[in-house]
Amino acid sequence: MKSRFAPSPTGYLHIGGARTALFAWLWAKKNQGKFILRIEDTDKERSTKESVEVILQGMEWLGLDYDKGPIFQSDRIERYQAVISSLINSGKAYYCNCSKQRLDNLREDLMKKGEKPKYDGYCRQKNLTDGVVRFLNPDDKVVLFEDCVKGNIEFANSELDDLVIARADGSPTYNLTVVVDDHDMDIDFVIRGDDHINNTPKQINLYKALGWNLPSFAHVPMILGVDGARLSKRHGAVNILSYRDEGYLPNALLNYIVRLGWSHGDQELFSISEMIDLFDLKDINKAPASFNKDKLIWLNQNYIKTTEINELLNHLKYHLDSQSINTNNGPNIEDVVENLRDRSKTLTEMANNCAMFYQDFDSFDSDLAKNVFQTKCRPILENLHSELEELDSWTAEKIHNVIMKICENRNIGFAKVGQPFRLALSGNGKSGSIDKSAQLVGKDRTLSRLKMAIDFIENHS
């Protein structure tokens, strides 16, 4: 069994494309089949190398590996031209040199009559030898197919155009190349967005004219924004790699997109192997799905909590590097991550919160410092500094005991020590549990940051 993902490199890989890719990938895995990546780059004007690169990177980041590919349609032009010639030679396709003016007039006339615009077959019998090539679509009967998602679908041939299969420069068009490729690559399941549903009867007629077996088709409903409008940039239909840059884990995103239009009872969390086990084309919803960023954040938080530490670190590294955080310069990163993973929504946030363990700073958040480092907390910080300096074993527990002892002796609440300590340690007031954080920051750094806070108070009082 073979399925494929066949993006056109005319833009980035976005949520909709990634979901189509995931469904086709899952279906291949579930059936112990093969998954093929084919880049549909015959539209030379709109296809770009950058877009190919972004699609490949997106697939790699998501972990959607392919058994074959990427296959570029631009490498297969001769094969398409051979098929086009054979269709011409067998009278199933013909050249057409109608002017744009004639086609425009035809279109206008039909629209005025309230009819669907359609080529009238004017050049069918002319035996021309140049121009665009049109497929001679049957005039009568219907095209009927059973879509794996939508059920039976029927189109009357009378509604279908004699479609252009080669442009005047000889370059083949999408509907021709897709049929030739899906046939040559032995594709059993064509899984794609339902924006292609109108192309399917045209393609089926081509299969029939060529005497080829049909694949099964599964047309996946589109994705809408929460406001019910078609998903756009405004809703998050951005390059899939921007989710990486915003700190999402690829498996959280996959978990999120598998649930866009597919469900298994009320289950929300699916490991990849569960997705493979449970996924079925027939369970894809017929209605459009809607995109909800809050749910994605919730899933990401869940995955950050539970992802195996080495895998988590692999993904975090990208963010540490982009924030120039050198983890050789401080505590074991695994310990830091274990300390932070329960309170990070994204990996960008986690990397941000790692900074205090590896990077010294030379100033405190000025608004916070003004509020927190008041003259009256100087003796508390001095007390803390000298008690901590005395500690011979630097553990969270010992540090905690020191804080408690100061609270008791001075008859003050925990926050009176904890709050200035946290700001001194982090520079921005953001940290996990203060004792564990201080342990990880290390004794020397903790003491020098406390000293810096004391100096701040001295200089500002």
Q: How many residues bind ligand GLU (CB under 6 A)?
A: 8
Q: Verify binding: residue 292, ligand GLU, rule CB under 6 A.
A: no
As measured in angstroms, the least distance from the Cβ of 267 to ligand GLU is: 28
Q: Decide whether 221 or 247 has the Cβ nearer to ligand GLU.
A: 221
Q: Decide whether 98 or 222 has the Cβ nearer to ligand GLU.
A: 222
Could you please report the per-residue DSSP string of 350-389? Answer: HHHHHHHHH---SS--HHHHHHHS-GGGHHHHHHHHHHHH
369: tokens are 């410092």
As measured in angstroms, the least distance from the Cβ of 90 to ligand GLU is: 25
Which span (190-198, 210-218, 264-272, 335-343) binds ligand GLU, by CB under 6 A? 190-198
Which span (49-57, 156-164, 188-196, 446-454) binds ligand GLU, by CB under 6 A? 188-196
Selected binder of ligand GLU within 178, 254, 403, 406 (CB under 6 A): 178
- Find the length of the chain: 461
CB 234 within 8 A of CB 225: yes
Q: Decide whether 55 or 132 has the Cβ nearer to ligand GLU.
A: 55
Burial class (CB in 10 A: 0-12, 13-18, 19+), 263: middle
Output DSSP code: residue 324.
T
Selected binder of ligand GLU within 8, 31, 74, 290 (CB under 6 A): 8
Which span (189-197, 206-214, 230-238, 429-437) binds ligand GLU, by CB under 6 A? 189-197
CB count in 10 Å sphere of residue 206: 24
Binding mask 121-160 for ligand GLU (x = CB under 6 A): ----------------------------------------
Q: Decide whether 215 or 330 has the Cβ nearer to ligand GLU.
A: 215
Q: Residue 216's beta-bridge partner residues?
A: 189
Selected binder of ligand GLU within 192, 202, 315, 422 (CB under 6 A): 192
Q: Verify binding: residue 6, ligand GLU, rule CB under 6 A.
A: yes
- Quote the CA–CA distance of 443 and 364 in Å, as a whole number: 19
As measured in angstroms, the least distance from the Cβ of 11 to ligand GLU is: 9
Instruction: Tell me the C-alpha to C-alpha distance, in Å, between residue 383 and each of 180, 252, 389, 400, 409.
Output: 79, 46, 10, 14, 11
- With H, G, I as helix, E, B as strand and everything else as coil, classify residue 91: coil
- With H, G, I as helix, E, B as strand and everything else as coil, classify residue 286: coil
Q: Decide whether 20 or 251 has the Cβ nearer to ligand GLU.
A: 20
Q: Verify binding: residue 40, ligand GLU, rule CB under 6 A.
A: yes
Q: Verify binding: residue 7, ligand GLU, rule CB under 6 A.
A: yes
CB 3 within 8 A of CB 29: no
Q: Decide whether 201 or 427 has the Cβ nearer to ligand GLU.
A: 201
Burial class (CB in 10 A: 0-12, 13-18, 19+), 151: exposed
144: tokens are 């009927």
The single residue listed with the structure tokens 């009176």 is: 416
Q: Decide whether 21 or 372 has the Cβ nearer to ligand GLU.
A: 21
Q: Verify binding: residue 9, ligand GLU, rule CB under 6 A.
A: no
As measured in angstroms, the least distance from the Cβ of 30 to ligand GLU is: 19
Closest CA to 148 of 286, 288, 290: 286
Q: Decide whether 17 or 432 has the Cβ nearer to ligand GLU.
A: 17
Residues of this chain, 195-234, that bind ligand GLU according to CB under 6 A: 196
Q: Verify binding: residue 179, ligand GLU, rule CB under 6 A.
A: no
Could you please report the per-residue DSSP string of 112-177? Answer: HTTPPP----TTTTS--SSSEEEE---SSSEEEEEETTTEEEEEEGGG----EEE-TTSPBPHHHH
Could you please report the per-residue DSSP string of 179-229? Answer: HHHHHHTT-SEEEEEGGGTTHHHHHHHHHHHHT----EEEEEP-EEETTSS
Which span (4-12, 285-293, 308-316, 450-458) binds ligand GLU, by CB under 6 A? 4-12
As measured in angstroms, the least distance from the Cβ of 182 to ligand GLU is: 8
Binding site for ligand GLU (CB under 6 A): 6-8, 40, 178, 190, 192, 196
